[in-house]
Amino acid sequence: MFGIDSAELLIIALVALVVIGPKDLPRAMRTIGDWVGRARGMARHFRTGMDTMIRESELEDMEKVWKSNNERIMRAHPTAPDRDWGTPPPPPIEGEAPAATPAIAPPADPSRPKPPPGPPRRARAKAQAAAAPIAPPSDEPA
């Protein structure tokens, strides 16, 4: 991270041991750890703030693009009504191709009999579980 090799780190540790002393070295290391933790917390807070600002800026840019595209589309199709998709389409104008109709499932064949209603899946599963034999407990360890 700082370009410190293991040999240099060993020399720093030995100098700290000699200068601070073995009695106060754990307290000094704890203090240094607290400072490093605070610095990392501040860096993380700064990074998340910057990420949030960048994300908001990108969203604003995307919203501007969306609005401009929406205005362009609305100018290109000024008479397009807001359709209720539940109503049938209007009849085609002479010379135009008919509008595509949505795919609808064909009606059921009345000559084909319906399957008999059975119990719901959950009830069927409970009945199968109740019908399964239960083995008596054995004295042998598993």
Ordered per-residue pLDDT tens for the chain, 142 residues? 567 788 888 898 889 888 988 898 889 889 999 999 999 999 999 999 999 999 999 999 999 999 999 888 888 877 655 555 566 666 777 776 665 555 555 566 667 766 666 666 666 677 777 776 666 666 666 5
The domain limits of the chain are 6-76
Structure token digits, residue 78:
């000024």
pLDDT at 68: 92
Structure token digits, residue 130:
């109740």
SS3 content of the chain, % helix, strand, coil (to 5): 55, 0, 45
Q: How far does Cα 123 stand from its chain's mean position?
A: 35
